[in-house]
Structure formats: C-alpha cells, structure tokens
C-alpha cells in the first residue's frame, strides 16, 4: 500500500511515489554517467542486454549489448563494477515488485515513432498499477525533479539545466583524462568518426601539461640510459661559468649555450640583450659619453670613428625607446587600451 504523510504545513507527501522517482533518477543518471550510452540506448536496456563477454584467452568482462539505434550498428559497451551494481539493483527491485520476474512491457521508439516489441526493459515503472517503460517525457521529468529537489545551481546561483547527452560528454572527458585512449572511447560511444569523439572531450591546460609530461617520461624510458646520465662536475662547472658570463652591466645576454658573441661584445646594439629595469641611467651615461667622443672625432677629422659612434648612438637611442615602451606598458592602469600609449619620439 502506498505510504503518504503530511508535513508540518499540512502538505501531502507521497513517500512511496517520491522514493520510486528518486530511485529511478539515481539509476538513470548512474547508468548514463558510467557507460556514456545515448538516452535511447539506455531506455532500451533489458535483462537480456547484460552479457558476460569472454576473450579467446579467457579474459571475461560484463558488457551491455547495445541494439542498433542511431548508427544502426550493434556494439558492446563494457560495464564498470559501479554500472553493473546499479543495473543489478534495478533488476532486483523489479523482480521484488513482480513476483520474481521483470515484466514484459511494450514500448515506442521515440525517434522512429514505431512500436517496439514487449521486452523485459529495466527502465520501467508502475506508478498507477500497470508497468510502463519510462519514455522521453519521463526522463525530462526526472531531470527537472533532480534539479528542483536537489537545488542544483551553478556558480552564479542559477538553477542548472542539463540533458542526458551531457553525461555522454562527461563520460568521454572523464575516461580520456584518466588515461583511456580516445580511439577506445570512440568505439565505446559508437562514433563513426573520431572527430565526433574529440568534440565531446574537454581538457584544461593543467591536464594537457601533465599528459605531455607523462609522454616525455615514457619516451625517456625508451631511450638509452646514458643519454639521461647525471651531469658530471665538469658539466656543472661549465654551465655555471656560462651563466656567470651572461651577466652584463645593462642586463643579461640571452645567446645560447656554446654560442660565440656575433657582435664583438657590443651589447647595447645586440638583439640578445635583455635589459634590466634600472638600465636607463646607464644608457643615458653611455649616450653622453659616446656623444662627447663623437664631437672629438669630428673635430680631429677621424671620420671612420665618427661613423661608428653615430651608429652606436642610434643603437643606444633604439634601446632606450624599447625600455621606455616596456615601462609604459607595465605602468598602464587596469583596462587601459595599450593602443593609446603615447608614442616615443625619435631624434
């Protein structure tokens, strides 16, 4: 006999009916989440769909045999222990309610609009005494109830809206991020193209970097061990010496290890120079000294030296301008358009 009670406000609570709705919400969501199957495939699961697959080597695994649906192809979906357990709970509940048997009930294919044969479907209820298979409208009602009763909200406080297909995307992202090859996820989901599976797959930067790190570690395992031998004392000393030699008065030289300076250590005109933030006073002093030497060279008629000093002054000016632009960008206020920076005039 259905159990009903009234709360403190006198509202009638149909305990038995609500418990039945909650149970099937739990089963439906868990099956979708654990298997990644389509909603039409889930609703067509019957007792005969659950099989024990066995390989030629004797390895066995419980599977769901998915009848042809969207792609008109039959396929096998492996069942995790959690998925198998929830399907067993559904079967046991139906058998308890119907004298040890899962009733045969007719159904309608919601996409094809055709009648389906009466089978022992696992997703069936008897809210009014007669067993019927849960349909698409029933699924929509289940999801609405979950959101309302569970008060499921997003980060901004709004009630969420989700569909059965969202669990299919969750399945792909969760399994692939945990190490399942995406080609295997494609087969499990029944996609003809791996591009479709990739569209379901969500990955963030942290996972991408971690996955690439694991890839590098695996690659190193396949290489000769001597290629990754610890550096010798001579190697360490050479590296430390190179780092020390990169430091210059204006900043740091970014040329590669073992590379010779291509500009004769004329750092101020070198693109490999990375300026310190406090380099402006040194550049100003360098410009003043070079200007004085230029005047002396012109006065004494040393035209070749004067030409070199003019090039040096121009390089110093270019370097000071780049330093000024960097400082202007850094000091820009929040939201300021970098395109409105004042231009640095050249002489």
Q: Are residues 196 and 295 in the same domain?
A: no
109-160 pLDDT, tens digit each? 766 677 888 899 999 988 777 888 998 889 999 999 999 888 888 888 888 8
What is the number of structural domains in the chain? 3
Band (pLDDT 50/70/90 cuts) for residue 346 is very low
Last residue in a domain, options 191, 223, 255: 223
User: Which CATH number belongs to the domain containing residue 24 in this structure?
Assistant: 1.10.443
Band (pLDDT 50/70/90 cuts) for residue 347 is very low
Q: Are residues 39 and 148 in the same domain?
A: yes
User: Average pLDDT, whole number, for the chain?
Assistant: 82
Which of the pair, 204 or 288, is modelled with greater confidence?
A: 288
212-250 pLDDT, tens digit each? 788 778 877 887 777 777 778 888 888 888 878 778 888
The pLDDT value given to residue 92: 93
Q: Are residues 203 and 54 in the same domain?
A: no
| For the chain, percent of residues with pLDDT exceeding 90 | 26
Classify residue 228: in a domain, yes or no.
Answer: no
The pLDDT value given to residue 164: 92
Find the domain containing 171 and state its range. Answer: 165-223
Classify residue 346: in a domain, yes or no.
Answer: no
Rounded to an integer, the average pLDDT of 87-107 is: 91
Q: Are residues 169 and 277 in the same domain?
A: no
Classify residue 312: in a domain, yes or no.
Answer: yes
Q: Are residues 157 and 289 in the same domain?
A: no
Q: Are residues 192 and 112 in the same domain?
A: no
The pLDDT value given to residue 338: 41
Are β-strands 251-253 and 247-248 bridged in parallel, bridged antiparallel, or unpaired?
A: antiparallel
Classify residue 345: in a domain, yes or no.
Answer: no
Q: Are residues 213 and 123 in the same domain?
A: no
| pTM of this structure | 0.58
Q: Are residues 188 and 335 in the same domain?
A: no
Q: Are residues 12 and 152 in the same domain?
A: yes
Band (pLDDT 50/70/90 cuts) for residue 7 is low
25-52 pLDDT, tens digit each? 999 999 999 999 999 999 999 999 999 9
Last residue in a domain, options 197, 223, 249: 223
Rounded to an integer, the average pLDDT of 293-309 is: 90
Q: Are residues 107 and 187 in the same domain?
A: no
Q: Are residues 203 and 290 in the same domain?
A: no
Classify residue 182: in a domain, yes or no.
Answer: yes
| For the chain, percent of residues with pLDDT exceeding 70 | 87
The pLDDT value given to residue 87: 95
Last residue in a domain, options 136, 161, 186: 161
Q: Are residues 204 and 298 in the same domain?
A: no
Classify residue 261: in a domain, yes or no.
Answer: yes
Classify residue 148: in a domain, yes or no.
Answer: yes
Nearest to 128 by CA among 19, 17, 25, 44: 17
Nearest to 312 by CA among 326, 294, 295: 294
Classify residue 120: in a domain, yes or no.
Answer: yes
Rounded to an integer, the average pLDDT of 150-178 is: 88
Nearest to 290 by CA among 308, 272, 275, 276: 308
184-222 pLDDT, tens digit each? 999 999 888 888 888 887 766 677 777 778 877 887 788
Q: Which residues contact 14 (CB under 8 A, 6 or more apart)?
A: 2, 3, 4
Rounded to an integer, the average pLDDT of 58-80 is: 83
């Amino acid at each position: 006999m259905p159990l009903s009670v009234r709360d403190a406000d006198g509202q009638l609570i149909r305990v038995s009916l609500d418990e039945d709705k909650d149970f099937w919400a739990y089963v439906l969501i868990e099956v979708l989440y654990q298997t990644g199957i389509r909603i039409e495939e889930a609703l067509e699961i019957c007792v005969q769909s659950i099989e024990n697959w066995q390989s030629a080597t004797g390895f066995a695994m419980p599977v769901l045999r998915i009848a042809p649906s969207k792609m008109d192809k039959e396929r096998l979906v492996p069942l995790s222990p959690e998925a198998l357990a929830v399907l067993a709970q559904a079967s046991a509940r139906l058998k308890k309610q119907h004298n040890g048997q899962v009733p045969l009930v007719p159904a309608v294919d919601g996409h094809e609009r055709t009648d389906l044969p009466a089978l022992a479907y696992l997703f069936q209820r008897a809210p009014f005494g007669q067993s019927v298979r849960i349909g698409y409208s029933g699924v929509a009602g289940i999801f609405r109830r979950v959101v309302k009763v569970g008060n499921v909200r997003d980060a901004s406080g709004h009630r969420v809206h989700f569909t059965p297909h969202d669990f299919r995307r969750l399945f792909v992202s969760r399994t692939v991020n945990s190490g399942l090859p995406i080609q295997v996820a494609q087969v499990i989901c029944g996609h003809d193209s791996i591009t479709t599976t990739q569209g379901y797959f969500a990955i963030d930067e942290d996972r991408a970097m971690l996955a690439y790190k694991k890839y590098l570690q695996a690659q190193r395992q396949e290489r000769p061990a001597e290629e990754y031998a610890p550096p010798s004392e001579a190697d360490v000393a050479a590296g430390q010496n190179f780092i020390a030699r990169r430091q210059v008065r204006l900043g740091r030289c970014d040329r590669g290890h073992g590379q010779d300076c291509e500009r004769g250590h004329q750092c101020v005109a070198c693109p490999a120079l990375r300026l310190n933030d406090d380099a402006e006073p040194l550049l100003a002093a360098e410009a003043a000294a070079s200007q004085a030497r230029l005047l002396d060279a012109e006065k004494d008629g040393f035209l070749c030296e004067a030409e070199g000093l003019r090039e040096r002054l121009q390089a110093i000016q270019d370097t000071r301008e780049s330093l000024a632009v960097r400082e202007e960008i850094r000091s820009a206020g929040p939201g300021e358009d970098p395109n409105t920076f004042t231009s640095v005039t050249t002489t």
